[in-house]
């Protein structure tokens, strides 16, 4: 099979569109370094393009109609966006679903302590990380603190040039001979991955933990936060710094959280770009939390959030009694839908080629990646898309001149991974994984190609327009 390098096919107008999209994307990444921030930015972007909160329709019991663009957020960490089509919802939707959580360090509920006149925040890593990659990096603190009275303070420290940053210190090489003999997974234990946040004591204080007292005073003076308020906080440690162009040719993007916010951005941008006139079936962009830890919890894909929202849509779209039980109509709406599980794929890395199978790997700048199946080993935990669905998608992509490729996640016995695809497939809908190739996936800084982002938006737009 001959591969297509997207860069070779672009004309001057395409190159301008790629650069314009790249600027929007980098702004999206910079604004959304946590799932809450990402959902907030997605809603802002949608509202700028005419979307309105579905809660308004639910509270007023106003009927939805063809052409309405609505969204619903769930606990500020998941959201779903709809373009309402003319056909009944029971005939199905065209869904592109992504996750907005990314690997990081979470701050524990009782985190602050002093040791050797240095103050640390105790952490618990989130998702699949290589722990050593988080050492000696400038880090930022993002999140929210909720007080007992319900008031809240947003925290975002370390992103501006004049703001302080934080660090997880590494062991100097002069003392690291024994460490160098250990396996990578044992190089640092999780309980030692604590973030250094202070070293200056309060001069007027006597006794112990004067550095910690200084830190706590800063938290109270600047944010009105007491130590006990950290019990009800959601604070995350992420790499400090902006998304950047990568390479002398500026062809790539280096940024934190591109798994899976690259696909989240592309799927929402595509829904907006796909337009309203002539839409027959409803288009849906689904952004969820907790994929990196198994999609559990109230904001993960295994919750009933999406199903409940579709139920609300059915009520608001109902014009007259159909005689068909509501539960049957809900099940039909889900089973008759088609979905792209928009999650990233591992880009082939020639520095580690023995872990890939070249023919069936994704390559940077070779376009949108379709993964017919995921899972590990003998496809354990996989969603395995039907060939009929894949054939339809091939036709659609080629008709719209979308550069695309197919891939697996590395060699068969080398590992593997999962997405939200298998969860949505439980409804009986057609689902396939389809996303952007990433170098260094799950590292604090990941690499993608601008061309692949462009092709992803084109591909998702073509999929949404399948319903027109």
235 strand-pairing partners: 143
pLDDT value, residue 225? 95
Taking CA atoms, 87 is separated from 160, 180, 372, 389, in Å, by: 48, 63, 29, 21
Rounded-to-integer distance, Cα 337 and Cα 428, Å: 9
pLDDT value, residue 468? 61
- Strand 345-346 to 375-376 pairing: unpaired
Largest CA distance in the chain: 78
In 3D space, the residue among 74, 79, 58, 59 whose CA is nearest the CA of residue 311 turns out to be 58
A 10 A CB-CB count for 243 gives: 22
CATH architecture of 104-239: Roll (2.30)
- Stretch among 132-136, 224-228, 231-235, 316-320 having the lowest mean pLDDT: 316-320
246 strand-pairing partners: 252
> Could you read off the pLDDT of 240-269 as tens digits, one per residue?
999 999 999 999 999 999 998 999 999 999
Residue ranges, CATH 3.40.630.10, the chain? 6-102+256-465
* Angle, alpha carbons 37-334-393 (nearest 5°): 85
Supply φ then ψ for residue 466, to 5 degrees. Answer: -60, -30
Residue ranges, CATH 2.30.250.10, the chain? 104-239
Q: How would residue 1 be classed by pLDDT, with cut points 50, 70 and 90?
A: low
Topology given in CATH for the domain delimited by 6-102+256-465: Aminopeptidase (3.40.630)
Number of residues written out for the chain: 468
Q: Is 76 left (phi over 0), alpha (psi -120 to 50) or beta?
A: left
> Could you read off the pLDDT of 375-400 as tens digits, one per residue?
777 777 788 899 999 999 999 999 99
DSSP 150-218: S-EEEEEESSSTTS--BB-PPPPGGG-HHHHTS-GGGSS-GGG-PEEEE-PPPTT--SS-HHHHHHHHH
> Could you read off the pLDDT of 50-84 as tens digits, one per residue?
999 999 999 999 999 999 999 999 999 999 999 99
Q: Are 296 and 290 in contact (CB under 8 A)?
A: yes
DSSP assignment letter at 321? -
pTM over 0.85: yes
Does residue 277 register a pLDDT over 60? Answer: no
> Could you read off the pLDDT of 330-382 as tens digits, one per residue?
999 999 999 999 999 999 999 999 999 899 999 999 999 999 988 777 777 78
């Amino acid at each position: 099979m001959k591969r297509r390098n997207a860069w070779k096919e672009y004309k001057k107008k395409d190159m301008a569109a790629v650069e314009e999209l790249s600027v929007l994307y980098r702004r999206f990444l910079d604004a959304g370094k946590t799932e809450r921030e990402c959902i907030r930015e997605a809603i802002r972007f949608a509202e700028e393009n005419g979307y309105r909160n579905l809660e308004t329709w639910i509270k007023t019991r106003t009927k939805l109609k063809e052409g309405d663009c609505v969204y619903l957020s769930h606990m500020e960490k998941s959201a779903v966006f709809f373009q309402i089509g003319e056909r009944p919802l029971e005939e199905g939707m065209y869904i592109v679903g992504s996750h907005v959580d990314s690997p990081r360090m979470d701050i524990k509920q009782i985190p602050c302590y002093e040791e050797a006149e240095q103050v640390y925040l105790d952490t618990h890593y989130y998702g699949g990380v290589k722990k050593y990659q988080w050492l000696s990096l400038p880090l930022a603190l993002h999140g929210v603190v909720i007080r007992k009275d319900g008031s809240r303070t947003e925290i975002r420290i370390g992103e501006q040039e004049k703001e302080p940053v934080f660090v997880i210190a590494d062991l100097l090489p002069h003392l690291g001979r024994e460490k160098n003999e250990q396996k990578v997974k044992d190089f640092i234990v999780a309980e030692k991955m604590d973030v250094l946040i202070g070293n200056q004591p309060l001069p007027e204080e006597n006794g112990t933990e004067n550095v910690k007292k200084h830190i706590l005073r800063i938290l109270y003076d600047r944010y009105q936060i007491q130590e006990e308020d950290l019990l009800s906080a959601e604070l995350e440690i992420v790499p400090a710094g902006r998304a950047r162009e990568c390479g002398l040719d500026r062809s790539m993007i280096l940024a934190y959280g591109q798994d899976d916010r690259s696909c989240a951005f592309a799927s929402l941008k595509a829904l907006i770009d796909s337009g309203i006139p002539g839409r027959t079936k409803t288009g849906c962009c689904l952004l969820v939390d907790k994929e990196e830890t198994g999609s559990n919890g109230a904001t993960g894909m295994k919750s009933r959030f999406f199903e409940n929202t579709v139920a609300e849509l059915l009520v608001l779209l109902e014009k007259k009694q159909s005689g068909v039980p509501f539960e049957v109509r809900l099940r039909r709406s889900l089973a008759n839908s088609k979905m792209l599980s928009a999650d990233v794929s591992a880009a082939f890395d020639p520095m580690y080629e023995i872990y890939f199978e070249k023919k069936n790997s994704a390559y940077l700048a070779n376009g949108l990646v379709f993964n017919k199946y995921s899972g590990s080993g003998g496809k354990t935990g996989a969603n395995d898309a039907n060939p009929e669905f894949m054939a339809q998608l091939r036709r659609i992509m080629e008709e719209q001149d979308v550069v695309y490729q197919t891939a697996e996640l590395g060699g068969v016995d080398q590992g593997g991974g999962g997405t939200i695809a298998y969860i949505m497939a439980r409804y009986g809908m057609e689902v396939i994984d389809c996303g952007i190739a990433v170098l260094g996936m799950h590292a604090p800084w990941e690499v993608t190609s601008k061309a692949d982002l462009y092709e992803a938006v084109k591909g998702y737009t073509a999929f949404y327009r399948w319903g027109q």
